[in-house]
Structure formats: structure tokens, C-alpha cells
Homo-oligomer: A and B are copies of this chain.
């Protein structure tokens, strides 16, 4: 039950972030809906594909789909009013989505008896795959690949679940709180992963 509430918050946050990116790129109403839906459900679709769940299982989430459509419509109709709050609360909601979806994705992989690597990939894709597709469709460099620490928290969550450290309901909730908190702190403190710069050679094929 509580997971359902967290999934709803995450779905709204992801759908809204897709709609905002579409409006920033001057996409039309159709583009706003498409980017919102892709951001909310794209990660789960790619995860299903990679771990062997039928992608069409998405259609059982009818209610989530309607919630996402309502959220996108609201953002399109009242952008100024809502975005004021979004700038304050958006990253918090988004962190809830990242955390809840990563746990849900990792549990999917565990149920299928897949190896630990699959658990990690399922957590990462469920948490951040939608945002990657969103950025590609907006012709942007995927934010997840270069900014603050984001998907790594999903990966760590997947690893913790994959090695079997966490299984009971209570411990999953604790894991959820820790992952959410780490993502929020990463954002507020602008924590970044190490990176290296190479001069571009245009040689790689």
C-alpha cells in the first residue's frame, strides 16, 4: 500500500519533469504528453525488456497512466503556479521516484532469479531510464550521465538488494529512506562523481 503511494508520487514527478523539458524545448502539446509519458514509463519498459518480463505488462498500470496524464495536463494548463512549487519540491518528489522505482526494479530481477548484475541494471534502468530517453528525445545530453550523483544511488540500491542484504519489508522501507536522503543531499550539496576529460579525437568508430 505504502509502495503504491510512493510509486504514484514518483510517476507524477517523472511525468512532470518530462513535460517541463518538452516545454523548455518548445515542443507542442503532443510533444509535452509524449515526453511526460516516456519519462514516467520508459524506464520500466526498458527494464522489462532487458530482464525478460513482457513489455506489454505496462498496460496493467492503467491507473498510473491516467494519473500521469492528469499531472501533465495540469502542468501544461497552469505552468506558472505549479512550477513555483516544483522548483522547491520537484527534486524531493523526483528522489522519491528514483528510490521507489529502483527498489521495485531490483525486486523484479530478484524474483526472476537473475544474477546480481541484472539486479543492479534493473534498479538503474527503472530509476533513471525514463530520464535518459526523455533527454535523447529532447536532443540533450542525458543529465544522468554527467551531473550530480543520481543513478549511482539506484545502482547501490540494486546491489544491496541483489546480494540479499535486505529482504524484509521493514528493511526495504529503511533502504528507501536512505536512498531518498542520499539523492536529496547529492542535489543540495551538488555532490559529483569523479570525471576525466579527454580531448576529443573523433577517431573512435
Listed in ascending order, the chain A residues whose CB lies under 8 Å from chain B are 17, 20-32, 34-35, 45, 49-52, 54-56, 58-59, 62, 65, 76, 79, 83, 87, 90-91, 94, 112, 114-115, 117-118, 124, 131-132, 136-152, 155, 187, 192-201, 203-205
Name the B residues within 8 Å of A118 (CB-CB).
56, 59
- The SS class assigned to the A binding surface is helix
Name the B residues within 8 Å of A143 (CB-CB).
204-205
Name the B residues within 8 Å of A34 (CB-CB).
124, 145, 151
Asked whether, in the complex, the Cβ of B195 is within 8 Å of the Cβ of A27, the reply is yes
* Copies of this chain present: 3
A to B CB contacts below 8 Å, 19 in the list: A20-B204, A23-B196, A24-B201, A28-B193, A28-B194, A31-B142, A31-B145, A34-B145, A35-B145, A51-B59, A52-B54, A65-B117, A87-B201, A131-B205, A132-B137, A137-B142, A139-B141, A147-B205, A187-B205
